[in-house]
């Protein structure tokens, strides 16, 4: 015996409403013989007769009233499911969750999202500013994008873009006349920068200081480049940050200096090896990584 | 969208792999894989991914399986209705209740209602998800420990009772007339755990207010289990006083709990539509016995 299907429910409900297979067939755009066959199959699947045949009409049996109401729920739920499948397809049901830093989020990710929403205009996207490896590991993010992060074995890293460390000074600072600056030239300036333990960029900048024989001693540490840029406007002499921030955002009154020798940084995409991506996330990865040549 | 394909996706998600789904559905693994790929095309969704060499459900497949649950439930209920017709129970009184009340206040009320109806009424009792059953029109009447405070559903206070302790007569504490929270300290207590669904639960509320929520060592679903465990000397059951009216405590000592907050039993039905005759009579007995 075959199981009852949502199509059976629709046909039984239509026959219940119309009272004849001819009218039900007309409403459902089926042939009358198809409707008759479906009634027979449905009654066989359910194991009970649903209609009495009287004078060429099909009359709902009194004991089948509860069944007909249950079939109404089948129709409603099936219709709701079809609508929900559309939401899954469009990216509305499963948001794309990206963990990143503000400077990457405002630059590379914003550009990629602009392209993604042309393919998926109804997609829902959550940009999470936080520690990407942690957000990924706890399942709060689908993708992470960070500068050379330290990650666990379950997280796959894909380098896809390069940037470098730059210095920002106020335009009234004598250094602002230079186009480039070396770390030894910053020796006597008050530095706002990243913590060497908490930030991969902080670790990189601290190592470059050590290699240049200088103490790495920022007077203020910040989690993000953007925080450093906002603080520089009020206090401090110089900040060392990633070059992506100034590509994405202008800061009035601040001047960018290249750091020599160059301190290159790599931007990596992070995915969880054991967790498949949604189609929306996979398309975002394509836009972000595959459509972009490193460098 | 075909039901068969959806059943394959659901089995794939629930059982975690194509081999497991094939075994569960009694078909070949290749049939499962073929069906999944056809569903991917038909629905224009990505459902299968290869992760570490294994075919794994994608987040879309997991979501689809979750979304399909109400539709599967509706189909199961339609089959259930047909089964009820087959066994002559199409016209029946349908009641949803929580296990704690199902074996105390409900049986005598059903017995009295059936007597009034000349033993004609068929009765179907369902457990748990009381609000969902009622909202979906799957039951005529529901009984629970809390007001539902849900639009379209009416709450009726049936009766209130303090918590009581049920213990083996040989238990040293059975010598006391009443038991206090302090005396129960260090005892192994048995009671109902929160169901995680009810918006309000006067039983859990009473346990919390007397400070016993964190002291329950064994949680059970059914009053019978609590009483059996007490009978076996496993511990002391802390249940509502409605249980005294049942035969569950026969041969056991029932002691009141000092300063116990009251537990309230509620009946619920859909607002608007009139209750059918059998449900109305049952409700009268439930309310009447508490008056």
Q: Which residue has the higher pLDDT, A291 or A266?
A: A266
Shortest Cα distance, chain A CAs vs residue B103, angstroms: 27
* A156 and chain B in contact, CB less than 8 A: no
Cβ–Cβ of B75/A63 closer than 8 Å?
no
Domain range list for chain A: 6-88, 96-158+267-290, 159-266
Write the CA distances from B62 to A121, A134, A276, A284, B14, integer angstroms: 23, 23, 11, 20, 9
Domain range list for chain B: 3-86, 92-155+265-290, 160-262
Mutate to test the interface with B, among A279, A280, A282, A285 (most CBs of B within 10 A): A279
* A48 and chain B in contact, CB less than 8 A: yes
ipTM of the complex: 0.82
User: Can you name the CATH fold of B3-86?
Assistant: Arc Repressor Mutant, subunit A (1.10.10)
Mutate to test the interface with B, among A88, A124, A272 (most CBs of B within 10 A): A88
Greatest extent of chain B over all pairs of C-alpha atoms, in Å? 72
* Superfamily of domain A96-158+267-290 in the CATH hierarchy: Periplasmic binding protein-like II (3.40.190.10)
Q: Does the pLDDT of residue B18 top 50, yes or no? A: yes
Average pLDDT estimate for A108-131? 91
Tokens of B264: 């309230």
DSSP state of B128: S
How many CB atoms within 10 Å of residue B103?
Answer: 18
Would the CATH topology of A96-158+267-290 be identical to that of A159-266? Answer: yes
Write the CA distances from B109 to A33, B60, B134, B279, B280, integer angstroms: 50, 48, 19, 11, 12
Q: Does the pLDDT of residue A235 top 70, yes or no? A: no
Cβ–Cβ of B59/A276 closer than 8 Å?
yes
Query: Residue B177 belongs to what H/E stretch?
Result: none
Q: How confident is the model at residue A223 (pLDDT cuts 50, 70, 90)?
A: confident
CATH class for the domain made up of A6-88: mainly alpha
The CATH architecture to which B160-262 belongs is 3-Layer(aba) Sandwich (3.40)
Average pLDDT, chain B: 91
Q: Is B281 left (phi over 0), alpha (psi -120 to 50) or beta?
A: alpha
Cβ–Cβ of B74/A274 closer than 8 Å?
no
Which of A35-39, A40-44, B88-92 shows the lowest mean pLDDT across its residues? B88-92
Would the CATH topology of B92-155+265-290 be identical to that of B160-262? Answer: yes
Instruction: Find all residues with CB under 8 Å of B63, minimum gap 6, and list them.
Output: A88, A93, A94
Q: Which of B98, B167, B156, B107 is nearest to B131 (CA)?
A: B98
Beta bridge partner(s), residue B48: B57
Q: What count of CB pairs under 8 Å joins A to B? A: 109
* B86 and chain A in contact, CB less than 8 A: yes
Taking contacts as CB-CB distances below 8 angstroms, the residues of chain B near A124 are: none
The CATH architecture to which B92-155+265-290 belongs is 3-Layer(aba) Sandwich (3.40)
User: Can you name the CATH fold of A159-266?
Assistant: D-Maltodextrin-Binding Protein; domain 2 (3.40.190)
Q: Which residue has the higher pLDDT, B91 or A262?
A: A262
Q: What is the pLDDT of residues A202-221, one digit of tens each?
A: 999 999 999 999 999 898 88
First CA to last CA distance, chain B: 54
* A1 and chain B in contact, CB less than 8 A: no
Instruction: Please give the Cα distance from A21 to A7 (Å, whole number).
Output: 15
DSSP state of B250: T
pLDDT of residue B290: 54
Cα of A54 vs its chain's centroid, Å: 59
Q: What percent of chain A has pLDDT over 70?
A: 97
């Amino acid at each position: 015996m075959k199981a009852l299907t949502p199509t059976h429910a629709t046909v039984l409900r239509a026959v219940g409403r119309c009272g004849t297979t001819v009218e039900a067939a007309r409403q459902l755009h089926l042939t009358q013989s198809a409707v008759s066959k479906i009634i027979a199959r449905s009654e066989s699947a359910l194991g009970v007769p649903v209609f009495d045949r009287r004078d060429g009409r099909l009359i709902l049996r009194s004991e089948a009233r509860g069944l007909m109401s249950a079939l109404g729920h089948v129709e409603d739920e099936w219709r709701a499911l079809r609508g929900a499948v559309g939401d899954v397809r469009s990216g509305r049901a499963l948001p794309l969750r990206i963990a990143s830093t503000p400077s990457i989020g405002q630059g590379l990710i914003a550009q990629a999202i602009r392209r993604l929403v042309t393919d998926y205009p109804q997609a829902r996207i959550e940009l999470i500013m936080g520690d990407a490896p942690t957000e990924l590991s706890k399942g709060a993010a689908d993708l992470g994008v960070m500068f050379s992060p330290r990650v666990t074995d379950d997280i796959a890293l894909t380098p896809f873009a390069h940037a470098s460390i730059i210095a920002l000074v106020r335009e009234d600072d004598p250094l602002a006349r230079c186009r480039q600056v070396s770390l030894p030239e910053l020796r006597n300036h008050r530095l706002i920068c990243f913590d060497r333990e908490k930030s991969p960029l902080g670790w990189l900048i601290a190592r470059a200081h050590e290699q240049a024989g200088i103490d790495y001693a920022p007077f203020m540490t910040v989690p993000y480049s953007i925080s450093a840029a906002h603080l520089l406007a009020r206090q401090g002499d110089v900040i060392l940050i990633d070059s992506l921030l100034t590509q994405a955002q202008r800061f009035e009154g601040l001047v960018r200096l290249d750091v020599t020798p160059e301190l290159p940084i790599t931007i990596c995409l992070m995915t969880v090896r054991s967790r498949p991506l949604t189609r929306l996330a996979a398309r975002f990865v394509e836009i972000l990584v595959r459509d972009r040549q490193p460098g | 969208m075909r039901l068969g394909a959806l059943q394959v996706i659901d089995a794939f998600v629930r059982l975690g792999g194509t081999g497991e789904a094939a075994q569960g559905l009694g078909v070949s693994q290749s049939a499962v894989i073929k069906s999944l790929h056809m569903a991917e095309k038909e629905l224009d969704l990505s459902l299968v991914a290869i992760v570490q060499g294994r075919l794994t459900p994608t987040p879309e497949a997991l979501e689809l399986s979750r979304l399909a649950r109400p539709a599967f439930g509706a189909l199961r209920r339609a089959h259930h209705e047909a089964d009820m017709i087959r066994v002559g129970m199409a016209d029946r009184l349908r009641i949803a209740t929580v296990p704690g009340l199902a074996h105390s206040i409900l049986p005598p009320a059903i017995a009295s209602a059936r007597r009034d109806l000349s033993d004609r009424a068929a009765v179907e009792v369902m457990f748990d998800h009381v609000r969902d059953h009622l909202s979906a029109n799957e039951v005529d009447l529901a009984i629970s420990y809390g007001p539902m405070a849900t639009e379209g559903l009416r709450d009726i206070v049936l009766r209130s009772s303090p918590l009581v302790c049920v213990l083996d007569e040989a238990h040293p504490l059975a010598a006391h007339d009443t038991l206090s929270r302090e005396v129960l300290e260090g005892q192994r207590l048995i009671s109902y755990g929160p169901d995680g669904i009810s918006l309000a639960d006067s039983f859990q509320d009473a346990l919390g207010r007397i400070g016993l929520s964190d002291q329950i060592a064994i949680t059970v679903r059914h009053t019978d289990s609590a009483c059996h465990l007490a009978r076996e000397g496993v511990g002391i059951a802390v249940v509502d006083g409605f249980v005294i009216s049942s035969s569950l405590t026969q041969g056991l000592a029932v002691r009141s709990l000092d300063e116990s907050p009251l537990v309230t039993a509620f009946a619920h039905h859909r607002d608007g539509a009139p209750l059918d005759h059998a449900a109305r009579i049952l409700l009268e007995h439930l309310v009447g016995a508490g008056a």
